[in-house]
Structure 1
Amino acid sequence: MNFLSDTTAPAHPALIEAISAANTGFAPSYGNDPVSARVETKLKEIFETDLKVLFAVSGTASNALSLSVLCPNHGAILCHDEAHIHRDERGAPEFFTGGGKLIPLLGDHAKVSLDALDRALGEIPEGFVHSSPVRVLSLSNLTESGTAYTPSEVAERASRVKSRPAFVHMDGARFANALVTLNCSPAELTWKAGVDALCFGATKNGAMGAEAIILFPSVMDRFEELQARQKRAGHMAPKMRFLASQFDAWLRDDLWLDLARTANARARRLADGLAQANGVEVLHPVQGNEIFARIPEALGDRLMAAGAGFYQWPDGSCRFVTSWCTEHAEIDALLAAARG
């Protein structure tokens, strides 16, 4: 009964097979191989636009590197107070930008509220020498509360900052989970809504360890700088074909969407069952593969004694995360323990 995180799940067999298939013969290094080129072509089809892609091994690296080409060292990055870049990346965005200032904002269910965004923009006038000018708005989709920004919600927030010389970054560690819930196209949820750069995560959804930094046309001219920063930071994988091969298999026949649908469906089933237990309160809409619930201490102890793994959230709630391979039997066992 492992509901600790989708990063604890195994990689999907198709992706392991793809790595093995890429392990034949010689290929150019640093992303100049045929597999990387093929994946970029496929991503252009999926997102319905021209783009540039660079593969990375972790979400932290992809977030920090992409932000480093969007935000100057004297600029500010607006994000939600619960955002991964603010809470869980050990200052990597500040480090990689060389001093870019993260300014956390509030909003229900880990979504930046329009009021908070307007207030921040009003308090940071453009051209005021004493404050850090806003240069990036970072949105997480899924959010850190497991909720999804709709295309219109992304566009509303993007339009606020686009009146300045500012960009929109999206942390898409669970982008696939958001996408299948919203039933929209990848283009509608990204560049058509004003997103300039997407960190497209596969690791939480079946990959062994593979992330893609996607630069859309508005910032494609920064690709060479992105490559240079990745190399300088020691994050450029020499044999990048093994990262690209995971995306090659993941994107084939919409496997990435099927895996996300499975994880989301398991989460909804688990959430429905937990909500029926005495004293349990599900705190946020379940719009992906994460459930946040406030549960009585005695119930939490009983679940752990039964072998359930879940994460104690800083606010006192409990987080349960499902994955592409969560079994119905695991959910049944946890709900049986919850019923006592």
Structure 2
Amino acid sequence: MQIETLPLISPIPGQQHALKLWRFGNAGARPRVYLQAALHADEIPGMLTLTLLRERLAEMEAEGHICGEILLLPVANPVGLAQQHLGLAQGRFDAGSGLNFNRNYPDLGPGLLARLQGLPSQGEAIDTATVREQMQALLGESCPKTELESLQHTLFALACVSDVVLDLHCDSEAELHLYVHSEQLDEATALAGFMGAAATLHATEQGGNSFDDCCTRPWWWLRQHYPQLPMACFAATVELRGQLDVSLEQATGDAAHLLDYLVWRGAVTGEAQPPAAPAMPTPLQGVSVSCAPHGGIVSYCHPVGSPVEAGTRLGWVIDPLSGQRSELCAEASGIYYARVLQRFVPAGLELCFVAGETPLRSGRLLAL
């Protein structure tokens, strides 16, 4: 096991954050697996899960069971973690720029294509190793100027040349669910089986240049020009339930399930087969959203994680001044997988999310 400290750009004199990276296995070994947690720094379940997984990996390495290379960052965003205001964590957006820490990662596809087309060898000579070399060269040309840019550049450079990228987040109040690429549903279904995901949401492009999306997108882009190339990076966002779902019991189970997945993927020795996934993948475009019809108090009445039919009552919104009480109903049939944690909301706020099979939306599919 190697522990590395990766300093970020100092935003002001006297202040500097750094990432702490754990490496297991042998440098350059395949498969290379990258796991990070708390990119949204106020989403804590993954941080605890990777802390416990780190302990298990240290034991496995001491016994000679790591056969790939595993990179692990339990705290992927020390910048956001330091944003504590009046006792409340503000870890989703960078306080200086207002930008989401999980948006605006580089779209390497066009630049990679130009570099590959400029190589002396073409066509069948373009392979996975060549693409990864060009990825590193392309990222090496960028020059971060701010603390946020240096954070995103450092994380992305570590991840994008990996075989597997798992970005651990959590939702507001939810069952465990995944975001994956539409061309990788077999592996996504396996991961869903290991993790017990209530929903697996897939798209070819999620919108907003999220971390996992930008790890897979270059391969999707290049395959349109070099069909022999595989989708050589499986990347997924793993939403570990809700913000309050932080417990040693759950994190121990999640760490064990991730370790089973690493065994199945060939990064750790042993035998593991994925259980049946609780639900088959559904399009991210098929997520229906129920919004607050007016401001007021939210009272939910239907459990998250259950299947619902269109029109099922999920709760009420009550105006405490007028007494108006309005039903909050499912807009479509599917798995009711997430809802907003806050219980006093403004009009129009997105409150309940149902994963359905029929595409309903287009364009940018992720929230800001």
- State the TM-score, normalized to the length of structure 1: 0.32
Higher strand share goes to which structure? 2
Q: Which has the larger radius of gyration?
A: 2
- State the TM-score, normalized to the length of structure 2: 0.30
Q: Kindly indicate whether structure 1 or structure 2 has the higher relative contact order, using CA contacts under 8 Å at least 6 residues apart.
A: 1
